Amino acid sequence: MKLNQPNPVFYRARLIISFLFLVLPFNLGADDNLSPGEVEMLHVLNGMEIWHQKIGPNYRSLESCDLGQGMGVFKGVVESLPMFFDDTSKIMTLKERLTFCIESIQGFSYSYISSNELIQKNIFSILMWLNHINGENNIP
């Protein structure tokens, strides 16, 4: 495999995850056939996918979002927030920081983010993914 080619395993996993979210109902809590653990894992997988997905007016992913530990670092973010961020001159929770990144990186307006149900579900899935990475079993 050449260095500039995408990892085929990662590519296949992303395709499978994308397919699952096309065929499964989006309101995951409404499906009585899924256990709470399965619903949680679907949110975790969806959150990971959303983080890397290019969307919004700026057509960018959230990969350049700094959650307080440095760009691309996820370990420890759940425990370290809320914290002060120099770029906003504010103390922010994890959800506030995600909202800020969606606004500043992807280009959605704050009013659109706060009123759009799909974006709110996406934020929830990203929070579930970050909790999973950090070994937390709490729903945010």
When comparing pLDDT for 102 and 44, which is higher? 102
Pairing state of beta strands 83-85 and 90-92?
Answer: antiparallel
pTM score, whole prediction: 0.72
Q: φ and ψ at 32, to 5 degrees?
A: -75, -10
Query: Residue 17: is its pLDDT beyond 60?
Result: no
What number is the average pLDDT over the span 35-44? Answer: 80
Domain span holding position 98:
8-133
Residue 53 belongs to some domain of the structure: yes
Which CATH number belongs to the domain containing residue 21 in this structure? 1.10.760.10
Residue 138 belongs to some domain of the structure: no
- How many CA atoms does the CB half-sphere of 64 hold within 13 Å? 10
Give residue 72's pLDDT: 87
Residue 1 belongs to some domain of the structure: no
What does the pLDDT look like over 68-126, one tens digit per residue? 999 989 888 888 999 999 999 999 999 999 999 999 999 999 999 999 999 999 999 99
Percent with pLDDT over 70 in the chain: 74
Residue 2 belongs to some domain of the structure: no
Residue 140 belongs to some domain of the structure: no
Residue 100 belongs to some domain of the structure: yes
Residue 23 belongs to some domain of the structure: yes
Tally the domains of the chain.
Answer: 1
